[in-house]
Amino acid sequence: MPFHLIDHPLALEVVGKLRDKRTLPAEFRDLARRLTTVLAIEATRGLKTNSYTVETPLESAQAERLSQGIAAVPILRAGLGMLSPITELFQNVSVGYIGLVRDESTAIATSYYCKLPKLSASLTLLLDPMLATGGTASQACDLVKAAGAENIKLLSVVAAPEGMDRISREHPDVHVYFAALDRELNALKYILPGLGDFGDRLYGTEG
């Protein structure tokens, strides 16, 4: 199944606080980092490792080290709020950036920036906190695949059924990890109940 709802109790608590309109940007950013840590750990369970020997203070012991590359690709600008936990968790992560802006009247996103590292041998983590229509995430999948990505996982905070349907149609090989499945999109293509505009709340630019 390509969709993974992360219902860890900590994730449930954090999502509730992210939804709260009283949560200010500084706390919102901290909550986003905490939730991304949970999502990233779940999404990277299958990473390949190599065995080696380490000397403890008492004797030799077998240990494991990561042997598979990881690339984190936030979708600007909201995805930036999910980047720092991944670079803190994984020492050798490569980072790329995709800039997509959504036309508010059509809800169609267009690309204005794309800078990606080598992706062919890496697990690529796409960071898009709000999977609404799925248009932005689908275009980002197209871009990373064109750059050689074969193993792609999309990390989102909240998903809507419409976005899930689109990803399953257009990119059935992409696994999606998310912390909440919401009811629907409104007429402006915002997720309901949602948590508002993630980027605005992250940086205090709403209103």
- Please give the Cα distance from 42 to 24 (Å, whole number): 27
pLDDT of residue 63: 97
Contacts of 43 (CB under 8 A, 6+ apart): 4, 125, 153, 155, 175, 177
- What count of other Cβ atoms lies within 10 Å of the Cβ of residue 137? 28
pLDDT of the residue at 105: 64
Set 23, 77, 87, 200: catalytic member: 200
Specify whether 128 is catalytic: no
Does the annotation mark 169 as catalytic?
A: no
Each residue's pLDDT tens digit, 81-113: 999 999 999 988 999 999 987 666 665 677 888
Provide the terminal-to-terminal Cα distance of the chain, rounded to the nearest Å: 39
pLDDT over threshold 70, residue 128: yes
66 vs 184: CA distance, rounded Å: 39
pTM comes to 0.91
DSSP reduced 3-state for 197: coil
Q: Stretch 165-187: mean pLDDT, rounded?
A: 96
d(Cα 186, Cα 164) in Å, to the nearest integer? 16
What DSSP character marks residue 21?
A: T
Residue tagged active-site, from 49, 106, 110, 205: 106
Give the H or E element holding residue 93.
Answer: none
